[in-house]
Structure 1
Amino acid sequence: MIDFTTDAPAEVAVLGAHCDDIAIGMGGTLLTLANSRPGLNVRALVLTGGGTEREAEERAALAAFCPGATIDLTVLDFPDGRAPARWESIKESLGAFRRAVTPDIVFAPQRGDAHQDHRTLAELAPTEFRDHLILGYEILKWETDTPHPTLFHPITTEIAEQKVRLLHEHYPSQVNHDWFDQLSFLGLSRLRGVQSRSRHAEAFVVEKALLRFGGN
């Protein structure tokens, strides 16, 4: 496995269809980025949950997952499970968000996600962020849509366990789901760790990227 190492970005854009998608998909990566880059700018957009207890959960969670970072979070109020029918409005909202941010990397759901809201956002992300590296994160749930990832971000066992603690602490509305538990989250990160020869990892799908040798 070839290891490409880069400096921590100054600003990232993170996109989620629901409150908790971002933390589930890349909570360990957020913790690592925030610890590696004091003053990291995190620009986040979530499509659903605006004005509900879910928004309050998301704001507290992102603050915990991004210690020391500057966070700008927008939570919209699109109806859960209806994203394909709101395609035009979501695209307009995503476009407005795009014009307000200057990220080094964009994180979004991956295009093969079986949930219609996740998949719609994944399909729209590259139509607005045309010149950015977009990393598609995976969201653990009951559907059998686990992707074949092409990029791995190793995380420490401490970070993997901290992610699980923060998920349970900040998303009490979700803890009754049978898949929302320590074994599930640590099991997936351990599997991705095995696949990347590390203890734990979070995995991403990359649809297209440029590789330059020698800075040319």
Structure 2
Amino acid sequence: MIGFDTGAITEVALLAAHCDDLAIGMGGTLLTLAQARPGLRVRALVLTGAGTERAEEEHAALESFCPGAELDLTILDIPDGHAPAHWARAKQAVAALARAGAAQVVFAPHRGDAHQDHRLLAELAPTEFRDHLVLGYEILKWENDTPQPAVFHPLAEGLAETKAALLLKHYPSQHNRDWFDEQSFLALSRLRGVQCRARHAEAFLLEKAVITFGGA
């Protein structure tokens, strides 16, 4: 399997519809990036949850998933499940995030996600981050919308277990969901690992990229 190296990453932008989407979709990748680059700049936008216990959970969780990083987290109060009705506000927030930093990689939901709030962000991301590498993460949930990703990030030994433990620790409000458990999270990362010859991995969808061939 041919790998692609992004080079050193100093800043990333994260887009999520709900508190816990980022941790579920790319918690292992966040841990990897933060550990590889002390002082990594992380600019994150979450559309829903402001003023609730979920916002408090999200702040604590991202601090744990991005140890040592310079974290700038904005959480809005758009109603869960109604983001498309607040298109203008979401668009403005994504645009502000894009202007505020110099992200080298952008992580957002993917267009095939069955949840309307996720799809909205997937559609908005490339309209504001037009010259960036935009990777769509997958969110484990009830809907039968598991994608067929093309980009895989193998996780270092023990990182998938760390991710699952942090999810359970930081999001107690989600413990009543029948899919929110260690077995579910490890099952998906194990599947993605099988697909890239690793023990565990996280996977992403890529719509567009430019490749430069080098060497002899």
Q: Indicate the residue corresponding to 2:26 in structure 1.
A: 26
Equivalent residues in 2 for 1:1-216, closer than 5 Å: 1-214=1-214
**Corresponding letter in the other structure for 2:12:** V
Tell me whether 134-143 or 94-103 shows the greater mean CA deviation.
94-103
In structure 2, the residue corresponding to 1:208 is in which secondary structure?
coil
Structure 1, residues 80-101: CA drift from partner, whole Å, max 9, x if none? 0001111122111111121111
Residues in 2 aligned to 1:129 and 1:5: alpha-carbon distance in whole angstroms: 20
Taking the aligned partners of 1:156 and 1:213, their CA distance within structure 2 comes to: 28
Post-superposition Cα deviations, 1:113-157, rounded to whole Å, max 9, x if no partner, equal 000000111111111101100000000001000000010000023
User: How far did residue 25 of structure 1 move?
Assistant: 0.2
Question: Which residue identity is paired with 2:24?
Answer: I
Tell me the distance in 1 between the aligned counterparts of 2:63 and 2:7.
Answer: 22
Gaps in structure 1 of 5+ consecutive residues: none
Local SS of the residue matching 2:158: helix
TM-score norm. by structure 2 comes to 0.97
CA distance in 2, matches of 1:51, 1:202: 30
Structure 1 counterpart of 2:75, one-letter code: V
Contact 1:8–1:33, Cα closer than 8 Å, also in 2:
no
Partners of 2:22 and 2:6 lie apart in 1 by 22
Amino acid at match of 1:125: A
Matched residue type, 2:102? T
Report SS of the residue matched to 1:118: helix
Give the distance between the partners of 2:118 and 2:17, measured in 1 at CA: 6
Q: Offset at 1:54?
A: 0.7
How far apart, in 2, do the equivalents of 1:92 and 1:131 lie? 18
Tell me how large the CA RMSD over aligned residues is.
1.0
**What is the percentage of aligned positions where both structures have the same residue?**
69
SS at match of 1:157: coil
SS in 1 for 2:48: coil
Residue 39 of structure 1 aligns with an amino acid whose one-letter code is: G
Deviates more, 1:92-101 or 1:1-10: 1-10
Q: Equivalents in 2 of 1:157, 1:177: separation in Å?
A: 27
One-letter code aligned to 2:155: I
Question: 2-side partners of 1:9 and 1:96: how far apart?
Answer: 21
Shift of 1:5: 2.6
